[in-house]
Amino acid sequence: MHIEGTVARRLDGTAVGEAIRASLRPRIEAFTAAAGRPPGLGIVLAGNDAGSEIYVRNKVKACHAIGIDVDLQRLPREASLGEVMAIVDRFNTSETYDGILVQSPLPAGMGRDAERQVFDAIDPAKDVDGFTPVNVGRLVQNRPALAPGTPSGVIALLDRAQIPIQGARAVVIGRSDIVGKPMAMLLLHRHATVTICHSRTADLPAVAATADILVAAIGRPGFVTREFVKPGATVIDIGATQVTDRDQIVSLFGADSPRLEVLARRGATQVGDVHPDVASVAGALTPSPGGVGPLTIAMLLSNTVRAAEMRRGA
Amino acid sequence: MHIEGTVARRLDGTAVGEAIRASLRPRIEAFTAAAGRPPGLGIVLAGNDAGSEIYVRNKVKACHAIGIDVDLQRLPREASLGEVMAIVDRFNTSETYDGILVQSPLPAGMGRDAERQVFDAIDPAKDVDGFTPVNVGRLVQNRPALAPGTPSGVIALLDRAQIPIQGARAVVIGRSDIVGKPMAMLLLHRHATVTICHSRTADLPAVAATADILVAAIGRPGFVTREFVKPGATVIDIGATQVTDRDQIVSLFGADSPRLEVLARRGATQVGDVHPDVASVAGALTPSPGGVGPLTIAMLLSNTVRAAEMRRGA
């Protein structure tokens, strides 16, 4: 039971991410010994979106640290969709690259439909982001599939924290293809009763407050306030908005928050969808940063290793 | 507003199915004139399951009545999985068959995984049941896809009955790949707030009673009783169990039900998941039979015409 005024248990994604990485090391060693090469991940980064630069740098670093080979292909902002496609084609037919990741967003000049076309072109066996229709379909059918990293990471976090999913009421706020929908499916397959909410949901706080497990994936800093949360519920914060407005930080975290120092130093600070006051009513809560972000990268590594093993028929 | 004691509006699937068929006729004529042949549906029926015989006969009759060509391939119960696969391969490469339907269930002797293997082998462009991972994935991504007939039919029924979906609370009881999950996705894409329930759901009646639109797809005759239904809610009954037990019919429908005469004459009568008492609390209700069944066949025709048009690049 949660007692009013206590602080929610902190679900540490960094620690769980490290545990996942540790479990991958022997598999990577075994694969490398058997295949005569390490697992390989091909990455396409087009343009120089600031967020993408950071994400890709972190992914490359994480791969190198664990023994996954990376081929990072950079293209200028003015590159054509055809150039991206040519790299994807080369990775598709490569013997040594088991996973393919095209960093989103692609430059706007490639056209509105560019990402969809590129993701569709990726060999499903190498689709470590789980964005191709075949992998989405297999995930929905509860069959072996390469599943998107963030929702898979949330399941791993809940399991390692021993938070029961079966029989729980789960509410997912957000219905994106890469987080909300696969999150709902993964929770459903673990026998939760799942509700998917979104911008058109009537009386959203009341619906959210039915949840034993509440997942917020909308990208609106501090949107999920205390009234959204049943006392003692587990709250998973997938939001990771870079906030640059000092007043917004002060209003959410107070005038003495250490985040102001981060803001001053870096020009932005990452803020989740969950309001800090929720810590006084939730039973368990992921921080942002330090929650699902590290898990997403850990699951990318896991998918790359899995794709490598599957391609060798293991 | 619903007034206690009134009888729910009857949502007539037969009439809506006829309206859908009427809208397909000019498309079939136009296709036939342009292609020099009618749209074609290849059907595989293996074994002689009594229900499958009826379903396939109704599908063939519906195709012929509207001008769709049918190639019905029958196999004996002892046939091998390879024989089914060979027919599917032939239909896949056929120029004149636009849709492929393998009637479920396949004979048990083909093995547990036989249906999955056969469905996976169907060309997604001809997958008029919407069972291939590619079509499931495209449906989930809210992209053009061949969607399973029953949930598509329910959306058509709600639209023609002018029952608002956007902003509604929808609860789907049942999480099958062919009804529950695609139903949830179609309602979500129409901006309902969707909850998926199943056998492990705690306090199922209370969760169901939050629904403005309640869809029952579990195959348990009369399971959804009054306590599951918010007064005035729309209730969609996808259950279609053939009941052979006279006592069960009497207990559900009373000793003077005309269904007893059907039972005596045919040896079974179709019963939905929704208890007859629900008619006194729901605002609108599909009967079973006469509700979603006729829509499922209408949507199969619609998918076949659509597949034919798409294959010609229309």
Quote the tokens at residue A9.
């248990």
User: For the domain bounded by B148-292, which CATH number is listed?
Assistant: 3.40.50.720
Which residue of chain A is at minimal alpha-carbon distance from B181? A140
| Cβ(A31)–Cβ(A308) below 8 Å | yes
Residue A7, pLDDT score: 81
- pLDDT value of position B7: 81
Domain ranges of chain A: 35-125, 148-295
Nearest to B196 among A134, A175, A194 (CB): A194
The arithmetic mean of pLDDT across residues B25-41, rounded, is 98
Q: Which CATH superfamily is domain A148-295 in?
A: NAD(P)-binding Rossmann-like Domain (3.40.50.720)
Geometric angle at alpha carbon B112, from B111 and B114, rounded to 5°:
65
ipTM higher than the 0.90 cut: yes
Q: Please name the member of A141, A166, A197 whose beta carbon is closest to the beta carbon of B136.
A: A141
pLDDT score recorded for residue A179: 97
B153, amino acid identity: G
Whether residue B193 and residue A181 make contact (CB cut-off 8 A), yes or no, is no
Helices A50-66 and A292-311: angle between axes, nearest 10 degrees:
60
pLDDT digits (tens, 9 = 90+) for B54-96: 899 999 999 999 999 999 999 999 999 999 999 999 999 999 9
Minimal Cα–Cα distance from B171 to chain A, Å? 9
pLDDT at B3 over 70: no
Q: pLDDT tens string for chain A (314 positions)?
A: 444 556 899 999 999 999 999 999 999 999 999 999 999 999 999 998 988 998 999 999 999 999 999 999 999 999 999 999 999 999 999 999 999 999 999 999 999 999 999 999 999 999 999 999 999 999 999 999 999 999 999 999 999 999 999 999 999 999 999 999 999 999 999 999 999 999 999 999 999 999 999 999 999 999 999 999 999 999 999 999 999 999 999 999 999 999 999 999 999 999 999 999 999 999 999 999 999 999 999 999 999 999 999 999 85
Which residues of chain B make contact with A197, given a CB cutoff of 8 A? 193
Based on the residue annotation, tell me whether B181 is a catalytic residue of this protein: no
Q: Per-residue pLDDT for B2 more than 60? A: no
Same CATH fold assignment for domains A35-125 and A148-295: yes
Suggest the residue from B119, B141, B230 to mutate for an interface test with chain A (most A CBs closer than 10 A). B141
- Interchain proximity B140–A181, CB inside 8 Å: yes
Predicted pLDDT of residue A51: 85
Is residue A139 within 8 A of residue A161, CB to CB? The reply is no
> Which class does domain B34-125 fall in?
alpha beta
The CATH architecture that domain A35-125 belongs to is 3-Layer(aba) Sandwich (3.40)
- Chain B positions contacting chain A at CB under 8 Å are 116, 132-138, 140-141, 143, 166-167, 169, 175, 177, 181, 184-185, 188, 191, 193-198, 200-202, 207
Nearest CA to B127 out of B105, B152, B102 is that of B102
Name every chain A residue with its beta carbon within 8 A of the beta carbon of B132: 137
The two most distant CA atoms of chain A are separated, in Å, by 58
Residue numbers in A near B185 (CB within 8 A): 181
| Identity of the residue numbered B226 | R
| Cβ A247 vs Cβ A261: under 8 Å | no
Q: Per-residue pLDDT for B5 more than 90?
A: no
pLDDT given for residue B297 in this prediction: 95
Q: What distances in angstroms separate CA B214 from CA A11, A115, B30, B278, one per listed residue?
A: 36, 36, 38, 12
